[in-house]
A and B are shown apart, each in its own frame.
Chain A
Amino acid sequence: MLNHNTLDEILNKYPAKEKRNRKKHILIKNITQENQEIEANTRTIPGIISSRGCAFAGCKGVVLGPLKDVVNIVHGPIGCGYYAWLTRRNKGVSKAPMKNFLPYCVSTDMQESDIVFGGEKKLARTIDEVVQIFQPQAITISATCPVGLIGDDIQAVARSAREKYGINVTAYSCEGYKGVSQSAGHHIANNGLTEHVIGAGDMEEAPQKYTVNILGEYNIGGDGWVIKKMLEELGYHIQAVMTGDGSFEELSNAHVAELNLVQCHRSINYIASMLEVKYGTPWLKINFIGIRSTVEALRSLALYFGERELIERTEDYITRELARIEPQLLPYRRICAGKTAFCYVGGSRGHHYQGLYEELGIETILAGYVFAHRDDYEGRQVIPNIKSDSDSKNIPDLHVAPDENRFRLKLSPERAAELKDKIALSTYAGMIQDMKDGSVIVDDLNHFETEELIRILKPDIFSSGIKDKYVVQKMGIPSKQLHNYDYSGPYAGFEGALNFARDVAMSFASPTWNYIEPPWAHRPLLEGTLVKGDMENA
């Protein structure tokens, strides 16, 4: 286990200023201490190798990218758009194959002259060409670093394209230098979608009973499909998924749902809160990763609608699924039992996967997020206490008001109060409360700390992303990527738990680890002829 002395020894290798900084981002869980504080969502230190990306990655890459029938134009030099092209495994299938734009990367590929004379004209031409070739119902424009600096007014270009073509064109000023990580881009995308897309549709009523949206589910490896199938089997109607396998049409009518389910709190909580204010739709924090979490999610959801028949159907379903899944998990559990994990991912998976690991008998001894905020660690009650700084201030807060025609209180205040005792209604308790005494929580875990903490804590498996993967595996420790699932999945729901168990067990059981040491490493070159002198020295 890590104690404060060993932690200090690690931190002492930093220059003094950096030590003070990093110390606030690392916590050893102490159950006797209430409200342990951690610093998060602050600047990355230049030169310290971190896993974080930029606002553009959070906006275009995470939130907008998965919308399958929307053409996402990247306005900037070629790289940013290129790297955000097909690299995230957000799957999608369109009813009309001509309207699935996921395999397309559209960039304005700014050249020197565009930087010098401005890129607005080229952007406008790009929109013309996109409309001519693809005839989409909606276009997004995401700005990359140089765009803000040279002063291109992408909002104006979007406005005139809206007028010219009568389609939904939105612009996102998500230059990579905004904020301190991907997180800023989530916020910018949330603002744009709330302001210009959600509610643009003309549905007034939910099409059927039990209509919900799923927020913060990006259909990586098909997770969203598993969740959707499960919920539909139970009688729910999914209006929109934000944004995995999402479509413009569905999203523009997302205002009609009775409830918003929130999977990834970090990337989508702004939309959840704004829809509550604007349309009176509460949100429910659920987690469809892990068996117990899935069970709990299904129960909370049934409880929200509160009808006996739905609750019973849910219980039957859970009993059936558990009976089906549990025996199949046993062989994997035998392989995994007693092992330990580091779980360092994104802005919610660092928390979400801990339960699933535990169900396999693997203890999470260190966890953290790349770009989360304090509320993702400590719970939403800390939000009023979070100090804003110059970096967070440059992300505009969108203030919405109740929609005059469409606001409808979905729950009476009494019923809401009653439910709040039972389910995570419009709240999130964060990661720390779920962690064991003595475990370590690290925000923006960097390469140096990773190496040091692995040396001390010796985990059996390390969950993170592609940039750490081979670093860790060179040490002989399996790495399970939890951004892209090592191209496997789905991992959500009951079915997904089984896939995850299979994959994790495979990473332990693979015979390939057995060959790291060559046979000659510990065998003397000459053997069998010991002379007397050697015997005496031995």
Chain B
Amino acid sequence: MLDSTPREIIARTGAVINPAKTCQPIGAMYAALGIHRCLPHSHGSQGCCAYHRSHLTRHFREPVMASTSSFTEGASVFGGSANLKTAIKNVFTLYNPDVIAVHTTCLSETIGDDIPSIIKSAAIPPGKMVIHANTPSYQGSHVTGFSNMTKGMVNYLAEASLENKREQVNILPGFLNPGDMREIKRLTALMGVPFIMFPDTSGSLDSPMSGQFNMFPKGGARVEAIRDSGNSSLTLALGEYAASDPAYQLERKCLVPAVVLRTPIGIQATDALIMALRQHFVAEVPDEIEEERGQLVDIMTDLHYHFHGKKVAIFGDPDIVASLTEMVLSLGMKPVHLLTGTPNTSLGGAQGNFEATVTAMLEDAGLAGRVKAGGDLFELHQWIKNEPVDLLIGNTYGKYIARAEDIPLVRVGFPILDRGVHSYLPVVGYRGALRLMEMIDNALQDRVDRDARDEDLELIM
């Protein structure tokens, strides 16, 4: 497996080999599916849309509906305005969504189609709306696309219509699974704080089997709610890369103060979320949450010897990798290779600083490790060849490295294409941390069992 990957690392300035990121539009499409009765629309050639739908479908095992402007050579030369207008007309006639969320592709960006003016001149039925985000894939990554579409929601929908802000919080969850979004909502509800989450794909990409297909399932943030987000007294952006930019946009547009937190994976990041809600809204932390947290700490201490000192490589989306790093550090593990495909900073993208954030975590723990943004899996594999690890955490593409180097893989992040259920169950919050611990523990202990000689096989571990 991956036999052509040499140990020796040469600096590359041309080829990306085995990427750890994909392009903006898929993130924008996913975000748009987090608005109730919204149809994402890909403005470009139809191939991108087909790829994005296929890929999201494989990860969620759910229908992913989206339309496209289906550019031909003519549209590529003369601009896609006519295509977009035809598409808008057809989409409203045939599928009747409340909102069409247009994102661009490399092609329409290169041509320079002016989406807002096309939308202005399109025939939009009364009560319906078309929003948009620019998502050129030659900037940032799929995470940037998610952030940009969320920002589009702020631009088009959020309004500060009240004199005084309401005691309610906006939660921008970032590029997470529906199961995670549910869990964050559950915790916020337990804290007794009224909230608006957008985008919100719970109930939209984890819809139940009913014997009927609904093009627009029950879930998704309501347009009225996103509008009302301009009246909230606080926005919590969960994740620098996937959520901070729209949160700051909302701050500029509607004067809602924005606080950027880490994706609440692991005990520290979850504590930070709970504390932010507690302090801002003067809300007591209920027993239920305190109990969940206590259970987590209980298991962390009980099992610390399964984890302590184990070397880990983690790759994936920057917000997720940062939180996972913090989490494995809290277990006494040694994260030595930390990589995201998303560039550290990019034009038109969410502004984060993955490398600084993660390096600081390692320094605090007195560790040294390789940290890279804008990297690829070819390089990660080479790092592992040079400094082996006990565990790999990342998406499905990690399985090739895991096999080549015979290391256990714990699947976390996007995309997971070869296992099911992951999108329904959380990795966020105290419960999510418990689940992650179980996944990591199983992977490590299964390996110990597999490698044990007969006489060393332990009944109790």
> Do A145 and B212 have beta carbons less than 8 Å apart?
no
| CB-defined contacts of B86 to chain A, threshold 8 Å | 45-47
| CB-defined contacts of B41 to chain A, threshold 8 Å | 47
Whether a CB of chain A sits under 8 angstroms from the CB of B93 is: yes
Closest to A395 in B: B73
Residues of B36-76 contacting chain A, CB below 8 A: 41, 44-48, 50-55, 57-58, 61-76
Residues of A363-420 contacting chain B, CB below 8 A: 390-391, 394
Whether a CB of chain B sits under 8 angstroms from the CB of A305 is: no
| CB-defined contacts of B110 to chain A, threshold 8 Å | 115, 145-146, 149-150
Interface string of B134-148 (1 = CB under 8 A from A): 001111010000000
Interface string of A35-49 (1 = CB under 8 A from B): 000000001111111
Q: Which of B13, B70, B95, B106 contacts A125 (CB 8 A)?
A: B13
> Do B105 and A105 have beta carbons less than 8 Å apart?
no
Known: A15-B90, A57-B50, A79-B137. A466 touches B58 (CB 8 A): yes
Whether a CB of chain A sits under 8 angstroms from the CB of B83 is: yes
Residues of B18-45 contacting chain A, CB below 8 A: 18-19, 21-26, 41, 44-45
Q: In the complex the two chains form, what is the Cα distance from A19 to B350 in whole Å?
A: 43
Interface string of A131-161 (1 = CB under 8 A from B): 0111000000000111011100000000000
Q: How many whole Å from B275's CB to the nearest CB in chain A? A: 37
> Do A97 and B3 have beta carbons less than 8 Å apart?
yes
- Pick out which of these stretches binds chain A: B4-12, B252-260, B383-391: B4-12
Closest to A101 in B: B4
Closest to A468 in B: B63
| CB-defined contacts of B209 to chain A, threshold 8 Å | 473-474, 476, 516
Q: In the complex the two chains form, what is the Cα distance from A206 to B111 in whole Å?
A: 50
Q: Which of B55, B63, B66, B211 contacts A476 (CB 8 A)?
A: B211
| CB-defined contacts of A448 to chain B, threshold 8 Å | 94-95
Q: How many whole Å from A384's CB to the nearest CB in chain B? A: 24
Whether a CB of chain A sits under 8 angstroms from the CB of B84 is: yes
Closest to B84 in A: A46
Known: A82-B19, A107-B19, A108-B16. A470 touches B63 (CB 8 A): yes
Residues of B82-117 contacting chain A, CB below 8 A: 83-84, 86-91, 93-95, 105-107, 109-111
Q: In the complex the two chains form, what is the Cα distance from A516 to B210 in whole Å?
A: 6
| CB-defined contacts of A391 to chain B, threshold 8 Å | 72-73
| CB-defined contacts of A84 to chain B, threshold 8 Å | 51
| CB-defined contacts of A57 to chain B, threshold 8 Å | 47, 50-51
| CB-defined contacts of B6 to chain A, threshold 8 Å | 133
Residue from the set A57, A109, A125, A451 with the largest chain B CB neighbour count within 10 Å: A109
| CB-defined contacts of B25 to chain A, threshold 8 Å | 79
Counting residue pairs across A and B whose Cβ atoms lie within 8 Å, the total is 255
Whether a CB of chain A sits under 8 angstroms from the CB of B461 is: no
Q: How many whole Å from A471's CB to the nearest CB in chain B? A: 4
> Do A180 and B137 have beta carbons less than 8 Å apart?
no
Whether a CB of chain B sits under 8 angstroms from the CB of A130 is: yes
Whether a CB of chain B sits under 8 angstroms from the CB of A55 is: yes
Q: In the complex the two chains form, what is the Cα distance from A423 to B2 in whole Å?
A: 44
Closest to B64 in A: A467
| CB-defined contacts of A517 to chain B, threshold 8 Å | 211
Whether a CB of chain B sits under 8 angstroms from the CB of A126 is: yes
Q: How many whole Å from B104's CB to the nearest CB in chain A? A: 12
Q: In the complex the two chains form, what is the Cα distance from A306 to B74 in whole Å?
A: 51
| CB-defined contacts of B400 to chain A, threshold 8 Å | 103
Whether a CB of chain A sits under 8 angstroms from the CB of B126 is: no
Closest to A94 in B: B3
Known: A82-B19, A469-B57. A15 touches B93 (CB 8 A): yes
Q: In the complex the two chains form, what is the Cα distance from A465 to B63 in whole Å?
A: 12
> Do A54 and B45 have beta carbons less than 8 Å apart?
yes
Closest to A446 in B: B94
Whether a CB of chain A sits under 8 angstroms from the CB of B1 is: yes
Residues of B378-403 contacting chain A, CB below 8 A: 378, 400
| CB-defined contacts of B162 to chain A, threshold 8 Å | none
Interface string of A84-105 (1 = CB under 8 A from B): 1101000000000111110111
> Do B212 and A177 have beta carbons less than 8 Å apart?
no
Residues of A448-495 contacting chain B, CB below 8 A: 448, 451, 465-467, 469-476
| CB-defined contacts of B211 to chain A, threshold 8 Å | 474-476, 516-517
Q: How many whole Å from B219's CB to the nearest CB in chain A? A: 14
Known: A474-B210, A516-B210. A145 touches B107 (CB 8 A): yes
Q: Which of A43, A104, A129, A146 contacts B106 (CB 8 A)?
A: A146
Known: A105-B19, A115-B138, A150-B110. A49 touches B47 (CB 8 A): no
Whether a CB of chain A sits under 8 angstroms from the CB of B460 is: no
Whether a CB of chain B sits under 8 angstroms from the CB of A178 is: yes
Residue from the set B67, B89, B137, B207 with the largest chain A CB neighbour count within 10 Å: B137
Known: A44-B70, A474-B209. A15 touches B89 (CB 8 A): yes
| CB-defined contacts of B57 to chain A, threshold 8 Å | 466-467, 469-470
Residues of A40-95 contacting chain B, CB below 8 A: 43-57, 73, 76-85, 87
> Do A99 and B48 have beta carbons less than 8 Å apart?
no
Residues of B158-214 contacting chain A, CB below 8 A: 207, 209-214
Q: How many whole Å from A43's CB to the nearest CB in chain B? A: 6
Q: Which of B4, B45, B73 contacts A133 (CB 8 A)?
A: B4
> Do A53 and B50 have beta carbons less than 8 Å apart?
yes
Q: Which of A145, A470, A473 contacts B105 (CB 8 A)?
A: A145
> Do A104 and B51 have beta carbons less than 8 Å apart?
no
| CB-defined contacts of A208 to chain B, threshold 8 Å | none
Known: A46-B68, A46-B70, A79-B25. A125 touches B14 (CB 8 A): yes
Closest to A134 in B: B4
Whether a CB of chain B sits under 8 angstroms from the CB of A421 is: no
| CB-defined contacts of A44 to chain B, threshold 8 Å | 46, 68, 70
Q: In the complex the two chains form, what is the Cα distance from A112 to B138 in whole Å?
A: 5
Known: A45-B70, A81-B19. A177 touches B138 (CB 8 A): no
> Do B15 and A107 have beta carbons less than 8 Å apart?
yes
Known: A44-B70, A106-B17, A466-B57. A129 touches B22 (CB 8 A): no
Known: A78-B22, A104-B17, A146-B110. A133 touches B47 (CB 8 A): no
Q: In the complex the two chains form, what is the Cα distance from A104 to B90 in whole Å?
A: 40
Q: Which of B48, B64, B139 contacts A112 (CB 8 A)?
A: B139
> Do A111 and B54 have beta carbons less than 8 Å apart?
no
> Do A108 and B48 have beta carbons less than 8 Å apart?
no
Known: A49-B66, A149-B110. A79 touches B76 (CB 8 A): no
Q: How many whole Å from B393's CB to the nearest CB in chain A? A: 20
Closest to A100 in B: B3
Q: How many whole Å from A87's CB to the nearest CB in chain B? A: 7
> Do B72 and A177 have beta carbons less than 8 Å apart?
yes
| CB-defined contacts of A466 to chain B, threshold 8 Å | 54, 57-58
| CB-defined contacts of A51 to chain B, threshold 8 Å | 50
Residue from the set A80, A87, A124 with the largest chain B CB neighbour count within 10 Å: A80
> Do B3 and A48 have beta carbons less than 8 Å apart?
no
| CB-defined contacts of B378 to chain A, threshold 8 Å | 104
Whether a CB of chain A sits under 8 angstroms from the CB of B459 is: no
> Do A108 and B15 have beta carbons less than 8 Å apart?
yes
| CB-defined contacts of B70 to chain A, threshold 8 Å | 43-46, 50
Whether a CB of chain B sits under 8 angstroms from the CB of A447 is: yes
Q: In the complex the two chains form, what is the Cα distance from A55 to B72 in whole Å?
A: 11
- 7 closest A-B pairs (Cβ-Cβ)? A54-B47, A79-B23, A47-B87, A125-B14, A47-B90, A126-B14, A83-B51
Q: Could you give 18 example pairs across A and B, Cβ below 8 Å?
A: A47-B91, A49-B66, A78-B141, A79-B25, A85-B18, A103-B400, A104-B378, A110-B138, A122-B13, A124-B14, A128-B14, A133-B6, A145-B47, A146-B106, A181-B46, A470-B61, A475-B213, A476-B209
Can you add 12 more A-B contacts, CB < 8 Å, to A107-B15, A516-B209? A46-B90, A79-B23, A87-B55, A99-B4, A107-B19, A127-B14, A129-B13, A129-B14, A176-B107, A177-B73, A394-B73, A471-B65
Which B residues contact A (CB, under 8 angstroms)? 1-4, 6, 10, 12-19, 21-26, 41, 44-48, 50-55, 57-58, 61-76, 83-84, 86-91, 93-95, 105-107, 109-111, 136-139, 141, 207, 209-214, 347, 378, 400
